[in-house]
Amino acid sequence: MQRKTDNLSSIASKVGLQISYEKTNIMKTPMASNADITLESKMIKITEQFTYLGSNFDCTGNVKKEIMIRIGKATSAFKSLNKIWNCKLYSIKTKLRIFNSNVVSILTYASESWKMTKDIESKLNAFENRCLRKIMNIKWNEFRRSDEIRDMSGQPLVTTVIRKRRWRYVGHTLRRNDQRIPKQALKWEAKGSRKRGR
């Protein structure tokens, strides 16, 4: 990691850029070595989590916090469009197109990097089902099953959309040159052994 940091610093200086020591942090995985990384003989601060382009990253790879943030942002976007959902002038097809472009895009932002679990999938699908019920004006006392609502709307599961996006990203990364950082990161294997316990 020190070698990559030095290479980045030297390449940046060749084109007239300087890396800010105050703004630079590193995040290590729990299995990473304890060796310190320096930038121009100054030790770089270590962080447990950071936000990059609106996405929250954790050193353990846990995305539950990020998912909850995404659901919160998608909920506020959905609620801001309440007048459209309640309006009888728009067809359900038009409402679903608005939903996909304004709400699902916020919900699935940067989902290519998410580590999916059954719990996370159920949270995402539950959020989407609540939205579809509102869009299609289905009351809670009308006992309709989720798959029935999905068939009526013709809307794919949000988790299916995320899986397709992940596979598309993997294919895009594998077609890249071997020198590109995303491809190196995809093929990277952790060294050492995992700590005992959960």
Find the helix packing angle between 92-99 and 118-135, rounded to 10°. 140
- Of all residues in the chain, what percent carry a pLDDT higher than 90? 36
Long-range contacts of 77-86 (CB under 8 A, 24+ apart): 77/102, 77/103, 77/106, 78/103, 78/131, 78/134, 85/134, 85/135
Whether the CB-CB separation of 181 and 188 falls below 8 Å is answered with no
Backbone angle region of 161, left / alpha / beta, with phi > 0 → left and psi within -120 to 50 → alpha: alpha
**DSSP 8-state code for residue 180:** S
Only one residue has tokens 């009351």, namely 139
Helix (H, G, I), strand (E, B) or coil at 85: helix
Q: What is the pLDDT of residues 109-146, one digit of tens each?
A: 988 888 888 999 999 999 999 999 999 988 878 888 88
Identify which of 114, 105, 117, 104 has the alpha carbon closest to the alpha carbon of residue 63.
114
- pLDDT beyond 80 at 6: no
**Window from 82-86, 168-172, 177-181 with minimum mean pLDDT:** 177-181
Q: What is the pLDDT of residues 23-77, one digit of tens each?
A: 777 777 666 666 677 777 777 777 777 777 877 777 777 788 889 999 999 999 9
**DSSP 8-state code for residue 192:** S
Q: What is the pLDDT of residues 62-87, one digit of tens each?
A: 788 889 999 999 999 999 999 999 99
Only one residue has tokens 């800010």, namely 20
Mean pLDDT of the chain, nearest integer: 84
Give the number of other CB atoms < 10 A from CB of residue 112.
15
For residues 161 and 156, give the distance between their C-alpha atoms in angstroms, rounded to a whole number: 7
pLDDT for 129 = 93
| pTM of the full structure | 0.74
pLDDT for 94 = 96
pLDDT for 194 = 65
pLDDT for 33 = 63
Give the number of other CB atoms < 10 A from CB of residue 62.
14
Counting every residue written for the chain, the total comes to 198
pLDDT for 122 = 94
pLDDT band at 177 (very low <50, low <70, confident <90, very high): confident
Residue ranges of domains in the chain: 1-47, 62-169
Q: Determine how β-strand 25-26 pairs with β-strand 42-43.
A: unpaired
